Amino acid sequence: MIESHKPFQTAKPVLEKIIQAGFEAYFVGGSVRDVLLHKEISDVDIASSATPYEIKEIFSNTVDLGIEHGTVLVLEGGEGYEITTFRTEAEYEDFRHPSAVTFVRSLEEDLKRRDFTINALALGIDNQVIDYFEGKEDLERQVIRCVGNPLERFNEDALRMFRAVRFISQLNFQIDPATKEAITKLHQNMANVAVERMRVEWVKTMMGIGRKAGIHELLDTNLYTVCPHFNEMREALVGLGDNQMTRLTELQGWILLAYYADLSDKQVKKLMRDWKCSNQLMNNVATGLMTLRKRLEQDYDFFMAYDCQKELAMEVEAILPSLGGTSDQRNLEAVYKDLPIHQVNELALNGHDIIEILKLEKKGPIIGKAMNLMKEEVLRAKVDNTKEALTDLLLAADFV
């Protein structure tokens, strides 16, 4: 297994060095799960019996990521590896004082505190998969099940409830009944989790192939009631789950959700802001939604194309058939090709020219009005984008 996967192969010398120094070390977490699911892996996590201080003695090049959480980044062969010391029953033991670390740590103790059985697998340097909690069986049964007592796992970190929903969607798995029952019971606890952490899980839920199943569990467990604005959006969430598109990008997910919820521009922006999305994403979702609504009524014209960048328009185009519209990428390409200007600075006249032509004393609101007039007339294809034609347009206009 190690030899047939590049990330494991390149990380193998790191494991070897730790073991040679007299400690235990294993690959753990998502990479082991994903390899068993025959998925590509990009990075690997390592768990070890060595404390961060002991790791720092073994390797010359390290970065302290969170020594108090027992994590050090080791830089070896141009790559970075996160090495975490086996965690024990104590929430996070304090590794800041090496002398204070007197716990007997074991791989089993560490895996016992992980969220789901499919994430509690370890891979040893001898290529053996260590599976104390029937994680491999759950991978085969396609079930998301907590390690041990679900109430305890969710009390350790309430975000894990949303992680369950995310894995259901990402892997198209089912949820184990006891795990589901615990989420239903404890869903309120997620209200204390940072929105940024919740957003990561929600975005992965929207983008997964099992979106319908993931959203179903989000609703069925009432977990959605502690997500920003989702209380008022139950029907829209059902719509997003039922939508026939198999895969969505993040942008398409938000646009569709806002579409099904029939949100106004202002409401979209509030939703995105409360989910702590970037301004860029917020603006793209708002513009994408506006374009989507128009496209369900009409073909692209210069105005729509100008307002919506081509990449964004392509994403909107892909959504249309799932809402009963017709996508026409060829027309979109043609409109973009013919678009007289893509942004306002492509106009043949700029602010200085306007001041000169209109003999203005100083800068003022008239410049904005003049720019807008030129933009509209050029996009309407009434006026050519040339200095002469635009000068005539400005001189004939009444700006008062």
**Cβ closer to ligand CTP: 82 or 333?**
82
> Residue 375 interacts with ligand CTP (CB under 6 A)?
no
Residue 33 labeled ligand binder: yes
CB of 307 vs ligand CTP, minimal distance in Å: 35
> Residue 250 interacts with ligand CTP (CB under 6 A)?
no
Nearest to 183 by CA among 138, 213, 140, 226: 226
CB of 283 vs ligand CTP, minimal distance in Å: 27
Residue 45 labeled ligand binder: yes
Instruction: Return the residue of 24, 110, 115, 217 that touches ligand CTP, per CB under 6 A.
Output: 115
175 - beta bridge partners? 144
Tell me the C-alpha distance between 116 and 138, whole Å. 10
Phi, psi of 62 (to 5 degrees): -135, 160
Residue 43 labeled ligand binder: yes
- Tell me which amino acid residue 216 is: H
> Residue 82 interacts with ligand CTP (CB under 6 A)?
no
> Residue 181 interacts with ligand CTP (CB under 6 A)?
no
- Joined tokens for residue 360: 């203005």
Site for ligand CTP in 317-336 (CB under 6 A): none
For helices 195-207 and 250-260, what crossing angle results, to 10°?
Answer: 90
Tell me the C-alpha distance between 149 and 178, whole Å. 9
Number of residues that bind ligand CTP (CB under 6 A): 11
Kind and range of the H or E run holding 79: strand 79-85
Site for ligand CTP in 377-396 (CB under 6 A): none
> Residue 159 interacts with ligand CTP (CB under 6 A)?
yes
Phi, psi of 25 (to 5 degrees): -155, 140
Tell me the C-alpha distance between 77 and 244, whole Å. 45
CB of 156 vs ligand CTP, minimal distance in Å: 8
> Residue 160 interacts with ligand CTP (CB under 6 A)?
yes
**According to the 3-state scheme, what is the secondary structure of 110-152?**
HHHCCCEHHHCCEECCCCCEECCCCHHHHHHHCEECECCCHHH
Site for ligand CTP in 118-147 (CB under 6 A): 119-120
CB of 88 vs ligand CTP, minimal distance in Å: 14
Residue 166 labeled ligand binder: yes
> Residue 226 interacts with ligand CTP (CB under 6 A)?
no
Tell me the C-alpha distance between 206 and 216, whole Å. 12
> Residue 110 interacts with ligand CTP (CB under 6 A)?
no
Instruction: Return the residue of 87, 114, 187, 269 that touches ligand CTP, per CB under 6 A.
Output: 114
Instruction: Return the residue of 29, 52, 208, 214 that touches ligand CTP, per CB under 6 A.
Output: 29
Contact region with ligand CTP (CB under 6 A), list: 46-54, 156-164, 208-216, 348-356:
156-164
Site for ligand CTP in 49-78 (CB under 6 A): none
Kind and range of the H or E run holding 82: strand 79-85
Nearest to 212 by CA among 252, 185, 172: 172
**Which residues fall within 8 angstroms of residue 223, CB to CB, at 6 or more apart?**
161, 162, 165, 183, 187, 190, 217
Kind and range of the H or E run holding 211: helix 211-220
Instruction: Return the residue of 12, 23, 30, 174 that touches ligand CTP, per CB under 6 A.
Output: 30
- The residues of the shown chain that bind ligand CTP, judged by CB under 6 A, are 29-30, 45, 114-115, 119-120, 157, 159-160, 163
Known binding-site residues for Mg(2+) equal 43, 45
Known binding-site residues for CTP equal 30, 33, 114, 157, 160, 163, 166
